[in-house]
Amino acid sequence: MQARTGSSRLPGKVLLEVAGEPMLAHQIRRLQRVEELDDVVVATTVDPADDPVVAVAEAEGARWFRGSEDDVLDRYFRATEEASAEVVLRVTADCPLLDPEVAGLVLSTLAAQDGLLDYASNVVERTYPAGLDAEALTAEALAQVFRLGRSPEAREHVTWFLLRERPDLFRIGSVTDDVDNSDLRWTVDHPRDLELVRWLYDELDLARKPRSYREVVAYVREHPELATLNT
């Protein structure tokens, strides 16, 4: 999980309070419930401003890695090497409603193909709410992206080269849901996004009672004002 405090739109957002705790802490706990994962690594930067990110990771029992602030692809590649990972699940730290079962489904989709896929995600064809994004790729595919992806976009967005520049080089799988809820926005980039997440955590007691994303969707659909709060 990539995490840093230097956000221009909502500074320090990964450490902002949700249900009385840093948003980052909630997401680490959600990742730790992904049965298909062996380990959780928070990939942050060498900037001293990100010392609190490391502190939260340590408090939650997650591993951490510190690397380049701007070259996020390099940070992921180095973190993968240090962890001796064979498969990487990529998520971002501004998605505190991430669903462990959905993330696990992305991982198991890659694994089930038994070497026939290099990458699987639920972002190629969007049917899940934004904020449930999960990308799984083999360490070999990540290494190839690291070697060949040289554009600024490729270095910043990690899978940009694989999806946007040279998808012909990779075997890509798409995970979709049977209902399209892609109109919902559950990622945190702006103050209204944070307002929505805080509301859902408080009303559904999500910090203490893990609920599937389908339960959260049902609640939001019953309260249309929430669906449009951060449109």
pLDDT single digits (tens) 121-143? 999 999 999 999 999 999 999 99
Alpha-carbon dihedral angle through residues 77, 104, 97, 7, given to the nearest 10 degrees: 10
Is 127 contained in some domain? yes
Which two tokens mark 168? 């012909």
Q: Please compute the mean of the pLDDT values over residues 214-218 and round it to a whole number.
A: 97
The model's pLDDT over 76-120, given as tens digits with 9 standing for 90+, comes to: 999 999 999 999 999 999 999 999 999 999 999 999 987 899 999
Contacts of 113 (CB under 8 A, 6+ apart): 120, 173
Is 2 contained in some domain? no
Domains in the chain, number:
1
Is 178 contained in some domain? yes
Contacts of 110 (CB under 8 A, 6+ apart): 87, 117, 119, 120, 136, 137, 138, 173
Is 38 contained in some domain? yes
Is 1 contained in some domain? no
Is 196 contained in some domain? yes
Is 3 contained in some domain? no
Range of the domain at 17: 13-229
Is 167 contained in some domain? yes
Question: What pLDDT shows up at residue 114?
Answer: 78
CATH assignment of the domain containing 145: 3.90.550.10
Q: Please compute the mean of the pLDDT values over residues 56-85 and round it to a whole number.
A: 97
Q: Please compute the mean of the pLDDT values over residues 193-209 and round it to a whole number.
A: 97
* Average pLDDT in the chain: 96
Give me the percent of the chain exceeding a pLDDT of 90.
Answer: 95
Question: What pLDDT shows up at residue 193?
Answer: 97
Report whether pLDDT(210) > 90. Answer: no
Question: What pLDDT shows up at residue 7?
Answer: 81
